[in-house]
Amino acid sequence: MDNETRREIIMEHYTHPLNRKRSLDEAYMKVNTNNASCIDNIDIYIKFKDNIIEDITFEGEACAISISATSIMINNLIGKTKEEAIDYIHNFYAMTENKEYNSDLLGEGNAYCDIYKQGNRKNCATLPFRGLEDAINKQ
């Protein structure tokens, strides 16, 4: 994926994020994830049905990297099992650490393949993933 394509994916998900809405349904688990070094503060709402992630929504204020990463994560994980979600999350982490990962699994998440070069931006990109992983582990 070239630089221009990566930038287009990130900006599309930042300007038109998927599932950006607050869920008041009590069936959703809420997890807050924030970055102490910047404005990133995102509430993620996850609805599980048995072992499946049935739905994910979010709201909050954050930078382009965090908002777009949240949108891409949601797009890739709705309908997945908890185990599939953890696998996706760990592959995303590996990519952001410049370690071996399954690029086929990440889809548009590959837009962040060079984020490891910018440590502070890596925190922004992984923020929603840390929140979702925490929610899955508490389930």
Q: Mean pLDDT across the stretch 108-113?
A: 97
Q: Per-residue confidence at 37, pLDDT binned at 50, 70, 90?
A: confident
Give residue-wise pLDDT tens across range 47-97. Answer: 999 999 999 999 999 999 999 999 999 999 999 999 999 999 999 999 999
Q: Cα–Cα distance between 110 and 32 in angstroms, integer?
A: 24
Q: Are 96 and 122 in contact (CB under 8 A)?
A: yes
Give the residue-averaged pLDDT of 3-23.
95
pLDDT of residue 35 exceeding 90, the answer is no
C-alpha–C-alpha distance, residues 112 and 7, integer Å: 9
Whole-prediction pTM value? 0.94
**3 state DSSP class of 135:** helix
| In contact, 91 and 107? CB cutoff 8 Å | no
Question: What CATH code is assigned to 3-138?
Answer: 3.90.1010.10
